[in-house]
A and B are shown apart, each in its own frame.
Chain A
């Protein structure tokens, strides 16, 4: 880690996260990112040609958005000479983009990077199934009217049954479980009850509602559609959520005996978060403010069937490297893919056996205090636009540290396919690098 440069989070913006309501939402993924990015860039005065690159996380860009990072950069008016790329690490794509920027700046390859993540899950496509595709290509190949007629006759209504891309995307292609079922695995493993999950979900909604009331989400930029409507808040919030109400919902993944419901899982949502990262030189050169410093990051792999445990596997090495105790971290953001999966992570660190077997620790690390974890809500209430969430939690964690004048924060996500990602940041918003230089 020697000779690595400090890397700062200068500023960030996001869109409100809009819950998918059964049909394609009003904004494409790049529309969302442009709204967040335009406002972010408008707050600063450097020439956009000063950006070294643009990196965007996105799991499923639309067919018109190949290398969506580049599409977003050009739509934002970033000069054509600035390269842009897209990263994909499933649910952590947004964090991967920040991490890639972090390394490129730390290594001295770049000084100023626009990073972030975006997802328009409501616009995930319906695909033709294989038999339909074969039928269509037969039809194209058919030359004579007779051949065409013959091919037509082979058409069956079943050909029209679509492949729902989002359901496939949320199913592990190797172990064959959908994400909800991996959450059920964790519930079973740690004996997490339906009441615990629902209670966690209720807290998530109440916390988001309180944060909205208190104006703690000033990173949100209003979206405007072409029909005269505007969107200025995360619209999946249910301030009146209660355990009684959630108890009425039926499990959706293990339908009969399961515990994971739509109410205690992350919402399918559209949203974008963009973050500006800079080296100390760039901060001074362009007279930029600083919000936080990225201290360290970690990726980890584990059994895809319990992918929700990813955060403990990614956070633990960081804690070890910096010899930190749980109490040294002021605030935690662990992405709520499923209430039970966050609870599972908390349980794992409390569990001597888990810490010994999986993390190489003598004994349990301890308990992450509930009042320091996801204090303004999480995926259950805010939603989880898969490509964006990683960037959202890092940005919001920086905002929380600044607001509370706290020092250290840890952001982490579980990742479909059996991984975890974590990032440790420090509040530097009270420091002025400009003065230090003087």
Chain B
């Protein structure tokens, strides 16, 4: 038996079973995943109205998509929110429907198998019961904070009601998604069962409608009006370590919402809608949304061809090669990592083991399985098995060429050869190959496990098919692949270097490193340039800078040479621009400088100018890809939406004038690029 009105539904289907339970089946039309798009919500409204008229025994909501429940709202719809007059009605409509679901006078159950995020979680929270499958593809969370907003379909009030303020605020402030088991532990969901019992568990809740557990006493106590201001203050303090209010208002707004209205859930829901509608129109939210869409764009670049290698071979067991290998093993690939020196492979394997432990915690079987997939291979057996070989040996063109000649005869006919070089032109390397078209650049960033971007370098001779496969491979290892023209420094290092060198120059002029770094983090960079240089290693900075300075007419600051010569190499040698104790930079908190704004301008302008030059030289295909590359490759303040976007938003004219002032003071390196005017 099925419901008549759903015959007009594109996304939903409702069936009734022998217990008169209504099974609400969501399978969003023309989409790989379920989203709470407007049309989906409107159809749900109709279904709920109908159910309310002729009440079933219970209602169970579930997904028809494999491996996912509901991924959240359709954020493309957020793009319209340039004003609260657009965002508030949108949010309020969602609230209305969630309220309808919550007030349906029969037991309601959300039955989750797979990803359940954002709006999907909020929809579930509006149900009486939530049951989820205990498997690796099921994750539950409220990640709105990452888009510069917070839950807006009642998720704030309802999650706090369910599990108490601390766990609920924690998942909303961090935006992290929990496995079903952890979600059960904090009380976000009612039951977590193996796949085979999911349906049975949902039916059991639907028919028996047990009394729902309230949060533990301590959690209820913490929600008390008198205690809340203190706890809220504590939360603000914690948040401020990661995000400033000026840059990221959403977490502060969420904390305020809770502090003020937690006594009255109804009012909290109302205030939530208003707060989110306001947040959604901020520059931060709109830029973060842009970044999110850019991320999708990069992901899509890796979906153009199907390429799923059965075996990955990495040559070079240094930190970079080893980390690439262990990352690929974590991603499920069978990996061999080759190095002539077994002691280096031993270190590689040790590092890999600690990444596996970090990743899989105490799951001993998963750690063993990852270790079994990663084979230290000092005899190079993997060469003839691999569909993709990643070369990550030291930067010496001759040695690389010799290596390529040695391995090419043993490679599979269609295997791709990828080099992780950051400084040698692909064309200088491919000449040694019989099939030069198989060589592509695959430029990872350090540390591999943390950095989301991989530059895919297209040499003059690289086959298009090979570029596409490399992009697909980048995506298949959960990285964001960015196609880049073969040119010195590629995109990320090239844009980063003038900014780093300007910072080093300022140190030479006597500006305290602490002031420089703070100017950068004030702008929104994740780490200051001086500390970054120390972390990367001043020797490495110097060698990359040398290559770029030759190509881009960028003189090396004297003090960088001096530091390298004195073997002050940064964090790894214990001293660079900062001194390090236990791996932490010792900063002088009292350091001051007169014109901090100028320090920031000098840093930022050089970065923006180089980004503009890259756009003109078509290092990547579009201005959007420049923004994406710089954000995901350098951590460039995401809430500013990327360098090119920032120039446009801040006003290219004003920035150009500022450049001109700096040029008069510091010389031609502040000459604005010819493409600046055309932005």
How far apart are the CA atoms of A227 and B369 in the complex, in Å?
17
Task: Choose one: A34, A38, A228; the contact of B347 (CB below 8 Å).
Answer: A228
Stretch at the interface among A39-47, A126-134, A202-210: A39-47
A interface, over-half SS: loop
Taking the closest CB of chain A, its distance from the CB of B345, in whole angstroms, is 6
Taking the closest CB of chain A, its distance from the CB of B537, in whole angstroms, is 21
Contact A228 B350 (CB under 8 A): yes
B7 on the A face (CB < 8 A): no
A360 on the B face (CB < 8 A): no
Residues of A within 8 A of B381 (CB): 39, 42-43
Contact A230 B372 (CB under 8 A): no
Contact B372 A75 (CB under 8 A): yes
How far apart are the CA atoms of A77 and B385 in the complex, in Å?
14
Tell which of A45, A227, A228, A229 has the most Cβ of chain B within 10 Å.
Answer: A228
Q: Mark A41-57, 1 if CB is under 8 A from B, else 0.
A: 01101000000000000
Taking the closest CB of chain B, its distance from the CB of A81, in whole angstroms, is 17
The residue of chain B having its C-beta at the shortest distance from the C-beta of A42 within the complex is B381
Residues of A within 8 A of B369 (CB): 75
Task: Choose one: B342, B350, B375; the contact of A38 (CB below 8 Å).
Answer: B375
The residue of chain A having its C-beta at the shortest distance from the C-beta of B371 within the complex is A226
Total chain A interface residues with beta-carbon distance under 8 A: 18
Contact B334 A77 (CB under 8 A): yes
Taking the closest CB of chain B, its distance from the CB of A14, in whole angstroms, is 14
Q: Mark B312-354, 1 if CB is under 8 A from A, else 0.
A: 0000000000000000000000101000001101110110010
A222 on the B face (CB < 8 A): yes
A224 on the B face (CB < 8 A): yes
Taking the closest CB of chain A, its distance from the CB of B311, in whole angstroms, is 9
Residues of A within 8 A of B446 (CB): none
Residues of A within 8 A of B350 (CB): 225-228
**Which B371-410 residues have a C-beta within 8 angstroms of A?**
371-373, 375-379, 381-382, 384-385
B368 on the A face (CB < 8 A): yes
A303 on the B face (CB < 8 A): no
The residue of chain B having its C-beta at the shortest distance from the C-beta of A28 within the complex is B368
The residue of chain A having its C-beta at the shortest distance from the C-beta of B368 within the complex is A75
Residues of B within 8 A of A42 (CB): 336, 375, 377, 381-382, 385
How far apart are the CA atoms of A230 and B350 in the complex, in Å?
10
Residues of B within 8 A of A75 (CB): 368-369, 372
Contact A224 B346 (CB under 8 A): yes
Contact A222 B375, CB 8 Å, known A42-B382, A228-B347, A228-B349? no
Residues of B within 8 A of A224 (CB): 342, 345-346, 349, 376
**Which B350-369 residues have a C-beta within 8 angstroms of A?**
350, 353, 368-369
Contact A228 B346 (CB under 8 A): yes
A328 on the B face (CB < 8 A): no
Task: Choose one: A45, A76, A226; the contact of B353 (CB below 8 Å).
Answer: A226
Contact A45 B384, CB 8 Å, known A34-B372, A38-B375, A232-B342? yes
Residues of A within 8 A of B378 (CB): 222
Contact A230 B385 (CB under 8 A): no
Contact A77 B347 (CB under 8 A): no
Contact A222 B342 (CB under 8 A): yes
Taking the closest CB of chain A, its distance from the CB of B291, in whole angstroms, is 38
Contact B334 A230 (CB under 8 A): no
Taking the closest CB of chain A, its distance from the CB of B318, in whole angstroms, is 14
Task: Choose one: B368, B376, B382; the contact of A222 (CB below 8 Å).
Answer: B376
Contact A230 B346, CB 8 Å, known A38-B375, A45-B384? yes
Tell which of A45, A226, A229 has the most Cβ of chain B within 10 Å.
Answer: A226
Residues of A within 8 A of B376 (CB): 222, 224, 230
How far apart are the CA atoms of A39 and B380 in the complex, in Å?
10
How far apart are the CA atoms of A222 and B334 in the complex, in Å?
18
Known: A42-B336, A224-B376. 5 other contacts (CB 8 A): A34-B372, A224-B346, A226-B371, A228-B349, A228-B350
A-B CB contact pairs (8 Å), 27 listed: A34-B372, A39-B375, A39-B377, A42-B377, A42-B382, A42-B385, A43-B381, A45-B384, A45-B385, A75-B369, A77-B334, A77-B372, A77-B373, A222-B342, A222-B376, A224-B342, A224-B345, A224-B346, A225-B350, A226-B349, A227-B350, A228-B346, A228-B347, A229-B346, A230-B342, A230-B346, A230-B376
Shortest 6 CB-CB contacts between residues of A and residues of B = A228-B350, A42-B381, A226-B353, A230-B346, A224-B349, A230-B342
